[in-house]
Structure 1
């Protein structure tokens, strides 16, 4: 009895030809005739995965894959799609170690890609990130967020007009409201959600040609998510726009990171977009009765006034007064009924 066999053994005629062009899936086959028929990019991708996920990414083979992708940039979309397919199967089989390796490979290829060829790879990359975010495993969600943030920090020469971030805004916003039982895990998920929103803002807010992040459908998710986390602060300390947050662990506390994200969002707002930010702020205060006591409301508006471009600060006061006057009028009308 032979323990090593060829998966094409015993084939005749047409049956043999059909089996010959199929991918070898039998671990007992070691003749090498199967893998030789596969496209080179698939063989290179397969080789970056170790026999055991604990061994991590095979770095020498990853270097070969990176060199190949740079030498043949037209293959980037196929490489990305194949990595996505492998990761999807591993997620389904709960082989999370291999999923982490696939995501690490995606990250390295993303950094190595030249800006001219980035669009060929980004679609598969974002599909991979979305797949991991859809997982119920917090570790995969956090991993996906970290990869998205790296992507957001890459400047692209040419914007992608058809790329949309609706899913990412919704998912990151929901992560900001995580209520899992374990406090440490909950904070990690919320931090990841805020970091993800920060990445979306940086990726979209400065380019008018891509998706308009200032639309109400996005601001109604982003702003309340930030305010929700800011409310969890034990003490409200408002820094002016000239000060830097040097408090220890500022990037590891959801409330502080949310405040930094709100500052960045307000600071990037042009005159036409200021009310897009203010409207969900005012609505949030109304819905959650945060006007009395007014500690948190004062804290938030100080942040807005310190962060906004100086020439637009009057519009904040104007919008606030109009809202309070309208709310007071409605209250008097109800009282007279």
Structure 2
């Protein structure tokens, strides 16, 4: 007889048919969107956002709309953290992701519209960083140009994200 491999027996040493360590790897849930999100951000301060990973993330979000709230929650937290820390080169990646999501995930727009509007409001509130405000304006223009449902426009008008701006009245 041969020696049984450690891969067949779990770490506890008992052979149980319900043990999760004996489950095949393809059946275990994979949090692929987290890897795609971390790969989209540049590694160095002078690096650019990884457009290829942002595209893959948007493709993944369009195929799995259930994951969009988790993706937007991560993006919001990351944007607020980087703005607080003053790392604006990392905070610029979040609007890039949203701009790509606007064009590639039009049908899922109600799932991320409120998150996008809160990010735009935060970007427009950056009074010392003109490039962040410009990026916020570009995201807002893309959002308004790619509207499918009127409900998102009502959210935009009645949430009053721009309390200091009197252009709507």
Q: TM-score, normalised by structure 1?
A: 0.38
Cα offsets for 1:221-260 (capped at 9, x unmatched): xxxxxxxxxxxxxxxxxxxxxxxxxxxxxxxxxxxxxxxx
Kept in 2: contact 1:53–1:101 (CA 8 A): no
Q: 1:161 to 1:132 in 2, by over 3 A?
A: closer
Quote the offset at 1:40 in angstroms: 2.5
Gaps of 5+ in 2: 1-28
Give the counterpart of 1:150 among 142, 146, 168: 142
Gaps of 5+ in 1: 1-36, 174-196, 198-217, 220-337
Cα offsets for 1:119-166 (capped at 9, x unmatched): 001111111111111222222122111211111111223524872242
Q: 1:55 to 1:148 in 2, by over 3 A?
A: same
Quote the offset at 1:171 in angstroms: 3.7
Tell me the distance in 2 between the aligned counterparts of 1:95 and 1:38.
Answer: 30
Q: 1:162 to 1:81 in 2, by over 3 A?
A: farther
What corresponds to 1:82 in structure 2? 74
Give the counterpart of 2:130 among 128, 132, 138: 138
Q: 5 Å matches for 1:222-233?
A: none
Kept in 2: contact 1:49–1:57 (CA 8 A): yes
Tell me the distance in 2 between the aligned counterparts of 1:80 and 1:166.
Answer: 20
SS in 2 for 1:166: coil
Tell me the distance in 2 between the aligned counterparts of 1:108 and 1:159.
Answer: 21
Tell me the distance in 2 between the aligned counterparts of 1:39 and 1:60.
Answer: 18
Quote the offset at 1:66 in angstroms: 1.5
Q: 1:101 to 1:53 in 2, by over 3 A?
A: farther
Are 1:64 and 2:80 an aligned pair? no
What corresponds to 1:231 in structure 2? none
Q: TM-score, normalised by structure 2?
A: 0.72
What corresponds to 1:124 in structure 2? 115
Kept in 1: contact 2:144–2:153 (CA 8 A): no
Tell me the distance in 2 between the aligned counterparts of 1:98 and 1:171.
Answer: 27
Tell me the distance in 1 between the aligned counterparts of 2:74 and 2:39.
Answer: 13
Larger-gyration structure (1/2): 1
Tell me the distance in 2 between the aligned counterparts of 1:121 and 1:106.
Answer: 9
Using CA pairs below 8 Å that are at least 6 residues apart, which structure has the higher relative contact order? 2
Kept in 2: contact 1:132–1:144 (CA 8 A): yes
Are 1:166 and 2:157 an aligned pair? no
Quote the offset at 1:67 in angstroms: 1.5
What corresponds to 1:47 in structure 2? 39
Tell me the distance in 2 between the aligned counterparts of 1:44 and 1:121.
Answer: 18
- The CA RMSD measured in Å over matched residues stands at 2.2
